[in-house]
């Protein structure tokens, strides 16, 4: 859908899209920290609101607002890389925690970084491992220095500090890495949230320091120009004053981009929306703004219209593996409400229609609901794969519409 291009080194004089000296792109870009090869150009508001941008990263260009599929263990579960390319995925995530434990970041570094390891030539982003340490690992001991935890795989003991998270992410070599943060439990008191936020800010400073000194050390430094970008993560729980303080504190650090973390953790959706809206007000307009771990198709559309540039979520693939499929209520009207089909229901047993009659994905072009129901009911692995592919296509189409491409 989009071609991937090798991006020349950032220059304030040359447009990185057209390649011409003083081209339109050159005027819109800014190097947020000297030498950071990340350029963000919010071109214009999208037809439905929000903003339309282009992220230029070492491994290619990303049209924003963008939805990023999650490839936890260097694979978007059950979906081959070629299919992701065909669907138009321009950037995917990988999870630092998982890859650190298995196969190990040093192995991935020796093999040339996560792009080469998984044969994914387009941009990638790694999280810091913080969220997984707090949600997956057994036994956690948090100190100002970092977190001691036990692997959920084999119970082995590990220690993550901000410096160690950066070192692991540099070895993985994604285009964008994230500061190491503490994720507070939900619900949490104001005092608990404030203390956790303070720790996150101290860790962000240490993450930045390590990144500044080592960001050139990516495994692909010889092949691709540019280096990794580091994004900060705004915390502050469900407290408006803390969210604001966190945003202001991080903006002072002048990082290439900012994420809003600690949302979609069980709070009502109105609260999520409110926290996003008030945090966005305190984030710079000329840098990418990323809401982590959201959401349903109508949510990602809504947040994109509010001015969010990047989102990621396991939902399309996880729901697909559980037989939940996203379709439009009125297939001919791609702005109509989103329905969730539970494909295992008997009503689909002889339904010869595609999942979504106006969806152009490879699943809807070839297979019927009846067949997908049969695959799911029989526990056939092809079912999980096809369901995941359709759901991802649905998310990409939603974002294309928000970007005004459809």
Note the residues at the interface with its own copies (CB under 8 A): 73-75, 77-82, 102-103, 107, 110-111, 117-119, 349-350, 352, 362, 366-368, 370-371, 373-375, 377-378, 380-382, 384-386
Rank residues 77 and 244 by Cβ distance to its own copies and give the closer one.
77
What lies within 8 Å, CB to CB, of 400 at 6+ separation is 88, 406
Q: Name the active-site residue from 181, 309, 312, 356.
A: 312
- The tokens describing 156, both together, are 């082995």
Rank residues 146 and 316 by Cβ distance to its own copies and give the closer one.
316
Rank residues 250 and 389 by Cβ distance to its own copies and give the closer one.
389
> Cβ of residue 367: shortest distance to its own copies, in angstroms?
6
The residues with which 39 forms a beta bridge, in sequence order, are: 56
The H or E element spanning position 178 is strand 176-178
Return d(Cα 133, Cα 149) in angstroms, integer.
7
Q: HSE-up of 83 (CA within 13 Å, CB side)?
A: 19
> Cβ of residue 78: shortest distance to its own copies, in angstroms?
4
Rank residues 337 and 381 by Cβ distance to its own copies and give the closer one.
381
Rank residues 153 and 271 by Cβ distance to its own copies and give the closer one.
153
Closest by CA position to 296, among listed 313, 275, 282? 313
Q: Name the active-site residue from 127, 175, 181, 309.
A: 127
Could you confirm whether 351 is annotated as catalytic?
no
Are 395 and 334 in contact by the 8 Å Cβ rule? The answer is: no
Rank residues 48 and 81 by Cβ distance to its own copies and give the closer one.
81
What lies within 8 Å, CB to CB, of 405 at 6+ separation is 63
Are 291 and 263 in contact by the 8 Å Cβ rule? The answer is: yes
Distances (CA, A) of 330 to 64, 299, 339, 344, 356: 26, 18, 9, 21, 9
The number of residues in the chain equals 406
> Cβ of residue 364: shortest distance to its own copies, in angstroms?
11
The H or E element spanning position 159 is strand 157-160
Distances (CA, A) of 115 to 70, 125, 342: 14, 10, 34
Could you confirm whether 286 is annotated as catalytic?
no
Are 172 and 182 in contact by the 8 Å Cβ rule? The answer is: no
- The tokens describing 266, both together, are 């069980």
> Cβ of residue 39: shortest distance to its own copies, in angstroms?
30
The H or E element spanning position 191 is helix 190-214
Which of helix, strand or coil describes residue 366? helix
Rank residues 215 and 373 by Cβ distance to its own copies and give the closer one.
373
> Cβ of residue 139: shortest distance to its own copies, in angstroms?
22
Instruction: Point out the residues that are catalytic.
Output: 127, 312
């Amino acid at each position: 859908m989009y071609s991937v291009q090798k991006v020349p080194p950032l220059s304030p004089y040359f447009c990185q899209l057209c390649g011409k000296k003083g081209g339109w792109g050159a005027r819109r870009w800014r190097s947020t920290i000297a030498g950071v090869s990340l350029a963000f150009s919010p071109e214009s508001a999208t037809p439905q609101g929000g903003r339309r941008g282009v992220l230029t990263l070492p491994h290619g260009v990303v049209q924003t607002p963008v939805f990023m599929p999650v490839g936890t263990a260097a694979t978007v579960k059950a979906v081959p890389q070629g299919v992701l390319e065909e669907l138009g995925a321009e950037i995917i995530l990988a999870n630092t925690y998982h890859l650190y434990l298995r196969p190990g970041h040093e192995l991935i570094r020796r093999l040339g970084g996560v792009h080469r390891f998984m044969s994914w030539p387009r941009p990638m982003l790694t999280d810091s491992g913080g969220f997984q340490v707090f949600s997956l690992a057994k036994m956690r001991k948090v100190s100002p220095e970092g977190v001691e935890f036990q692997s959920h795989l084999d119970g082995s003991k590990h220690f993550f500090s901000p410096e160690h998270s950066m070192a692991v992410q540099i070895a993985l070599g994604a285009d964008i890495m994230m500061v190491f943060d503490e994720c507070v439990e939900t619900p949490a008191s104001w005092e608990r949230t404030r203390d956790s936020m303070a720790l996150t800010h101290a860790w962000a400073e240490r993450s930045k320091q390590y990144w500044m000194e080592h960001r050139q050390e990516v495994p692909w430094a010889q092949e691709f120009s540019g280096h990794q970008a580091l994004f900060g993560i705004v915390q502050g729980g469900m407290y408006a004053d803390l969210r604001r303080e966190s945003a202001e504190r991080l903006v002072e650090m002048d990082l290439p981009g900012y994420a809003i973390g600690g949302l979609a953790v069980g709070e009502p959706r109105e609260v999520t929306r409110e926290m996003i809206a008030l945090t966005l007000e305190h984030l710079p307009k000329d840098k990418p703004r990323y809401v982590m771990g959201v959401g349903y198709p109508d949510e990602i559309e809504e947040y994109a219209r509010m001015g969010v540039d990047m989102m990621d979520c396991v939902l399309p693939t996880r729901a697909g593996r559980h037989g939940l499929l996203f379709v439009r209520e009125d297939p001919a009207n791609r702005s109509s409400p989103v329905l969730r089909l539970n494909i295992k229901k008997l009503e689909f047993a002889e339904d010869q229609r595609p999942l979504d009659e106006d969806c152009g994905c490879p699943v809807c072009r070839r297979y019927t609901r009846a067949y997908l129901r049969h695959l799911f009911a029989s526990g056939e692995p092809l079912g999980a794969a096809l369901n995941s592919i359709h759901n991802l296509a649905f998310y990409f189409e939603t974002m294309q519409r928000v970007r005004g491409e459809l």
